[in-house]
Amino acid sequence: MNFQRHRRLRKSASMRSLVRETHLHVSDFIYPLFFVEGENVKKEVPSMPGVYHLSLDLLQEEVKEIESLGIQSIIVFGVPAEKDECGSSAYDHNGIVQKAISQIKEVAPSLTVIADTCLCQFTDHGHCGVIENGEVLNDETLTLLAKTAVSQAKAGADIIAPSNMMDGFVAAIRQGLDEAGFYDVPIMSYAVKYASSFYGPFRDAAHSTPQFGDRKTYQMDPANRLEALREAESDVAEGADFLMVKPALSYLDILRELKDRYPLPLVAYNVSGEYSMIKAAAINGWVDEKSIVLEKLISMKRAGADLIITYFAKDAARWLNEK
């Protein structure tokens, strides 16, 4: 009989390790952190077990733990004490994100600090831009996004990560950074961000649920593939240094297409809904959390991601460090 014996390469753990095509490393992970005003605040987000709101006086302990696990990059979100119509605390030099970035760079200068650049956490209506007659104004929002990015760079952010999905946001932020002298601060663009139902728990964490309507006029239709390519093409042309696909797990095909087309580092955002579903199932004993998380993360690497933003970063780092 003539047939292929594929099982030869699976017959032992060492053989399987020898021929493994895709690998996870702790340095692949970017860990999201949520900072709030106040003192001695460490409050678990109800829909995200293991994810916390932290006040700045507890920042050092958290950052040192992250460093001790070998995680090299974090992305910073802020929940301000007060919000207004135009999200002014997003670009306040004394805002919660700016203060957090500054303190992180003091206690952990070698950690790569990424600043999420958006307005939705800072506006009282929960949308990512300036509102007029119930509509999100694109070009007027760009000015505020550029101000936000510059203030974050001044605070010490190593990378600016705009997530708002306004047209032209990479060009506007690049111009703003360059004019302020931050030529060497790269932009990690949320280039392909779908209007997904997987963001619910994040909105609990960031207090950013829209107070009317939804975000479908600026975030993408989950049914669209070609639109993702157009969005990425625009961001590459405008000067993005990284491209991102968000969410990750339901859009692995999009990750692969971007990986095959563009030479830029590619980031997958393993979003809150993906996290919370596994956590809930694991708490109920329905799945083995460690094995399912590592399988999920390696699927993102196999699809083409170079880096993964994930709330599982600390858990996954501990599991990988056990080996």
Q: Tell me the C-alpha distance between 174 and 196, whole Å.
A: 27
Q: Which of 83, 99, 193, 314 is catalytic?
A: 193
Q: Catalytic annotation on 193?
A: yes
**Nearest residue to 19 (alpha-carbon basis) of 9, 28, 11, 29:** 9
Backbone angles phi, psi at 275, to 5 degrees: -65, -50
| Residue 193 · residue 168 · CB < 8 Å | no
Q: Which of 83, 99, 147, 246 is catalytic?
A: 246
Q: Catalytic annotation on 83?
A: no
3-state SS, the chain, equals CCCCCHHHHHCCHHHHHHCCCCCCCHHHEEEEEEEECCCCCEEECCCCCCCEEEEHHHHHHHHHHHHHCCCCEEEEEEECCCCECCCHHHCCCCCHHHHHHHHHHHHCCCCEEEEEECCCCCECCCCCCEEECCEEEHHHHHHHHHHHHHHHHHHCCCEEEECCCCCCHHHHHHHHHHHCCCCCCCEEEEEEEECCHHHHHHHHHHCCCCCCCCCCCCCECCCCCHHHHHHHHHHHHHCCCEEEEECCHHHHHHHHHHHHHCCCCEEEEECHHHHHHHHHHHHCCCCCHHHHHHHHHHHHHHHCCCEEEECCHHHHHHHHHHC
Sign of CA dihedral 259, 262, 264, 269: negative
Contacts of 14 (CB under 8 A, 6+ apart): none
Which residues are catalytic, by number? 193, 246
